[in-house]
Structure 1
Amino acid sequence: MKFIFRSVLVAAALSLSSAGAFAQAYPNKPIKLIVPFAPGGFTDVVARILGQKLSVSLGQQFVIENKAGAGSTIGTDFVAKAAPDGYTLVMVSTTHVISPWIYKNIPYDPIKGFTVVTKLVDSPYVLLANPKVPAKNVQELIALAKAAPDTIHYASSGNGSSQHLMGGMFAAMTGAPLKHVPYRGSSGAANDLVAGVVETSFAGVPNALAQVPQGRLKALAVTTAKRIPQLPDVPTMQEAGVAGYEASVWLALLAPAGTPRDIVNKLNSEIAKVMAEPDTKKALYDAGVDPTPSTPEAMSAYMVKEMDRWGKVVKEIGIKVE
């Protein structure tokens, strides 16, 4: 019995030692970071900023791979089914907790199907209009849309996206009959907005900063309760006369369910460090986002609340994907 007991202790010690060695060795090969949106959009910009910094910090390349489609569910499903070894991660947005309310038969559980690593950033969206639209402000846009129903379109990065929901919420709250035009990514939506193919869009701050200062687009309002420093002259939606309208988009880093806690902790710690560096802060500021890293537990709880919140919004405004 003593021999057996001693053997069990040795085996347990070796197991703990192996687990510790594994965590210390992580990462020992490139890490695949899935962005479930098309290149050039809000999430993609942040992924490339952090991927570059983490490649240096962790000594292994972060390979950014865009897998867009179906309201971000295609790329996210890919990660849900990946090995829980820390080498396949996904950067999700608020869309992660919106899509399940809009799409039928999502092939994963948005909460239980993943291990949260950290919250990353928060950002407002901006109501943009092509310069050919005669409206100078939000109230004029609403009046224009009501005077000629279904002639004012709003572009989004796809059905079920944050852009889709923010535009639908705006239309419902103001009574403005805006017509939704979904694209396969925010980059395509932005290109057609600049070209005048569509009249308006609720876009991420990076897209706004790339076009508004040059006069290629007009910024009519931001979606948050406070103005943003990158566009200080642009009013909030509430200042523009849409009482009660407030929304922002967040990004988070997730791993497949069952990813070892040591790996999650290491990623969480490294991300907090690189996001606190001055050059990273500047890059994120220039991209129009606010760094808001968190513990895995805090973000897990926040995602549950956000899923409930946006589910109620979807039901109230009746957004559906056929």
Structure 2
Amino acid sequence: MTCNLRRRTFLTSAAALAAFGARAQGAYPNRPVRMVIPFAAGGATDVLGRDLAQAMTATLGQSFVVENMGGGAGVPALNTVARSPADGYTTFFCASGNITAQPLLAKSRVDILGQLTPVGMVATAPHVLVVSAKLPVHTVGELVAYAKAHPGTLNFGSAGVGGLAHLGTELFARAAGISITHVPYKGAAQAMTDLVSGQVQGMFGTMPSFTGMIEKGAIRALGITAPSGATPLKNLPLIARTVPGFQYSSWNGIFVPVGTPAPLIEQLYIAMAKGSTDKGLAKRFDEQGVDIALANSAQLAAAVHKEIAVWDKVIRDAKIALN
């Protein structure tokens, strides 16, 4: 609904101003919506975000303009969104680690839900535990036994300190009662190269990062960190069957600056939920090893609080700090 520009009277009363605000809000969105993604173009989160942006465009009738802002463990992108106007036109499509892990590693810990408000979760994905084909193990049980028989020799790589793959490694080591040395890299590509060569023996991560090398036989998938119905993961066992109590998953969702009006958050959530029913999007998510999993703003906020407590303990126990 738009204002009647031919009206000759000014809206001066409080009631008229409130009515104007309601009409303006009802027109949302009347221009393109910005979607900030805290990763470089082409990565798993970027691919999912662009698919979702396209589906939400069809629902809302306005385009979503994707802006990749990689680097800095996602903190610069997060800060950019948090400082943007709370008008529904800047959104943050992120992975769970950007919200529940990286802020815990800042010199001054960030109250993430004091800066960003959840719109909702759209998908979850377990991490896959992979090992170099040069390591003589084929199951999680064999890996645990190998680590206990060869203390101090097991090295796990990741794309950097404090990422979910790093925290998952620390959580696994403690749950399994084994020693693992974390080897951080500046990116996933070099970590993968060293995994294939056997310089590091294992790694956690999402399935798209590993598919090619698994198919070539250069690395071996042993299990997944949480239940999944995604096609590429159906034949992989739950790690928790061997290491009781060990479970975590990555998720993707949308956040907006604190102060964004609740009706706009609801419109974005409805568009996200409707977009998730698109058959093409669902197929592409499934191919990436991702399950559609919807949670609204309140549900996601509760999940964030719970997950922060888990990773906070891991970070403190392992004495993890960014250099």
Give the TM-score taking structure 2 as reference length: 0.84
The amino acid of 2:102's aligned partner reads: S
Structure 1 range deviating more: 85-94 or 185-194: 185-194
Given that residues 171 and 177 in structure 1 are in contact (C-alpha distance below 8 angstroms), is that contact kept between their aligned partners in structure 2? yes
Give distance in 1, aligned partners of 2:60 and 2:227.
37
The offset of 1:184, in angstroms, is: 4.4
Structure 1 range deviating more: 52-61 or 292-301: 52-61
2:125 to 119, 123, 138: 123
Residue 75 of structure 1: SS of its match in structure 2?
helix
Question: For the structure 1 residues 66 and 210, does the alpha-carbon distance in structure 2 shift closer, same or farther, using more than 3 Å as the test?
Answer: farther
Q: String of CA shifts for 1:78-130, please: whole Å, max 9, x gaps.
A: 21111212222112332212223333224x42011112111121111100123
1:138 to 137, 140, 145: 140
1:47 to 34, 40, 49: 49
Name the counterpart of 1:98.
101
Q: Which segments of 5 or more consecutive residues in structure 1 lack a partner in the other structure?
A: 1-6
1:201 to 196, 203, 206: 203
The amino acid of 1:102's aligned partner reads: L
Question: For the structure 1 residues 131 and 272, does the alpha-carbon distance in structure 2 shift closer, same or farther, using more than 3 Å as the test?
Answer: same
1:174 to 151, 173, 176: 176
Name the counterpart of 1:30.
32
Give distance in 1, aligned partners of 2:61 and 2:229.
38
Given that residues 127 and 203 in structure 1 are in contact (C-alpha distance below 8 angstroms), is that contact kept between their aligned partners in structure 2? yes
Give distance in 2, aligned partners of 1:281 and 1:217.
28
Q: Percent identity?
A: 32
Q: String of CA shifts for 1:295-322, please: whole Å, max 9, x gaps.
A: 2122222222222233233334443334
Question: For the structure 1 residues 33 and 157, does the alpha-carbon distance in structure 2 shift closer, same or farther, using more than 3 Å as the test?
Answer: farther
The amino acid of 1:100's aligned partner reads: P
Q: For the aligned residues, what is the CA RMSD?
A: 2.8
Given that residues 230 and 291 in structure 2 are in contact (C-alpha distance below 8 angstroms), is that contact kept between their aligned partners in structure 1? no
Give the TM-score taking structure 1 as reference length: 0.85
**Residue correspondence of structure 1 range 1-322 to structure 2 within 5 A:** 11-95=13-97, 96-106=99-109, 108-146=110-148, 148=150, 151-186=153-188, 189-190=191-192, 193-194=195-196, 198-224=200-226, 229-239=231-241, 241-322=242-323
Residue 138 of structure 2: SS of its match in structure 1?
coil
Structure 1 range deviating more: 216-225 or 11-20: 11-20
Given that residues 123 and 252 in structure 2 are in contact (C-alpha distance below 8 angstroms), is that contact kept between their aligned partners in structure 1? yes
Residue 56 of structure 1: SS of its match in structure 2?
helix
Question: For the structure 1 residues 192 and 255, does the alpha-carbon distance in structure 2 shift closer, same or farther, using more than 3 Å as the test?
Answer: farther
The offset of 1:175, in angstroms, is: 3.9
Q: Which segments of 5 or more consecutive residues in structure 2 lack a partner in the other structure?
A: 1-8
Structure 1 range deviating more: 309-318 or 260-269: 309-318
Q: String of CA shifts for 1:182-241, please: whole Å, max 9, x gaps.
A: 3445465445545655432101133244443443431011111577643232211123x2
Residue 240 of structure 2: SS of its match in structure 1?
coil
Give distance in 2, aligned partners of 1:53 and 1:225.
26
The offset of 1:163, in angstroms, is: 0.9
Question: For the structure 1 residues 297 and 232, does the alpha-carbon distance in structure 2 shift closer, same or farther, using more than 3 Å as the test?
Answer: closer
The offset of 1:249, in angstroms, is: 1.6
Give distance in 1, aligned partners of 2:129 and 2:273.
31
The amino acid of 2:244's aligned partner reads: A
The amino acid of 1:289's aligned partner reads: V
Give distance in 2, aligned partners of 1:272 and 1:238.
30
Structure 1 range deviating more: 260-269 or 49-58: 49-58
Structure 1 range deviating more: 137-146 or 154-163: 137-146
Give distance in 1, aligned partners of 2:173 and 2:86.
41
Given that residues 39 and 187 in structure 1 are in contact (C-alpha distance below 8 angstroms), is that contact kept between their aligned partners in structure 2? no
Given that residues 37 and 46 in structure 2 are in contact (C-alpha distance below 8 angstroms), is that contact kept between their aligned partners in structure 1? yes
Give distance in 2, aligned partners of 1:194 and 1:60.
44
